[in-house]
Chains A and B, each alone.
Chain A
Amino acid sequence: DVKVTQSSRYLVKRTGEKVFLECVQDMDHENMFWYRQDPGLGLRLIYFSYDVKMKEKGDIPEGYSVSREKKERFSLILESASTNQTSMYLCASSSKPTGTGRDGYTFGSGTRLTVV
């Protein structure tokens, strides 16, 4: 069974801390994505990567950075956590940029981050 694994289901961090969210996929997918999900706003793209060491800004990259040193791992970094970054963070991967057809994106279970 193919998987996208996010290292933490729940995380509580203090304002100003540097936070690392880890995502690992075992499907040899080229493309990986980080989204955040907020009520009434749906899923918003933070950053994505189409290849190792490659990264592109999504719609809301401010306050975040990413790292893709290996094909299977895509890390999201909150440089200095703030309360408005409290959210559900979802990692996804796909073998095609759009995730079209039967494949779609494969999502992880999410990390619920609370910044206090």
Chain B
Amino acid sequence: DQQVKQNSPSLSVQEGRISILNCDYTNSMFDYFLWYKKYPAEGPTFLISISSIKDKNEDGRFTVFLNKSAKHLSLHIVPSQPGDSAVYFCAASARIQGAQKLVFGQGTRLTINP
């Protein structure tokens, strides 16, 4: 039962253009949503988060949008740079089975082409 889904395994974008990564979730009890970035042979690094009471959070080139009615969030990267090429994981937090935990999506591999 995948509570957090990233339906696009990969995405290819031209350098300088906008990258949009999508994530869907099923559990309405999630209270925070986060994005992590992972390079090969490294652990994921925290990128940006958003509270469930907000619909947008911006940090430099990165913006996360939350649509609660659609149970959908997206990460926008603009302008995209070659160093953005990585796997991006969407994550959501909630109290599940008595404990506060993060649930991760499957990941989307983003490739920025020069």
Contact = CB atoms under 8 A, between A and B. Distances in A.
Interface stretch (A13-21, A41-49, A65-73, A77-85): A41-49
Given A42-B89, A104-B36, A97 B43 contact: no
Contacts, number: 75
Contact of A42 (B32, B41, B93, B107): B107
Contacts of A33: 102
Query: For the complex, would chain B's binding face be called helix, strand, loop or mixed by DSSP majority?
Result: strand
A33 B100 CA distance: 12
24 contacts: A41-B106, A42-B89, A42-B105, A43-B89, A48-B99, A48-B101, A50-B99, A92-B43, A98-B101, A98-B102, A99-B34, A99-B93, A100-B31, A100-B32, A100-B34, A100-B49, A100-B51, A100-B93, A103-B46, A104-B34, A108-B43, A109-B43, A110-B41, A110-B43
A109 B44 CA distance: 8
Interface residues of B, number: 27
A58 B105 CA distance: 15
Nearest to A56: B99
Interface string B22-46: 0000000001101010000111111
Interface in A8-50: 9, 33, 35, 40-45, 48, 50
Contact of B44 (A43, A45, A100, A103): A43
A74 interface: no
A99 B102 contact: yes
A42 B101 contact: no
Given A97-B99, A104-B34, A107-B44, A40 B89 contact: no
Given A109-B41, A109-B43, A42 B106 contact: yes
B90 to A, nearest CB: 9
B54 to A, nearest CB: 12
A60 to B, nearest CB: 12
A90 to B, nearest CB: 6
Contacts of B102: 33, 45, 98-99, 105
Given A97-B99, A98-B100, A99-B34, A40 B43 contact: no
Contacts of A76: none
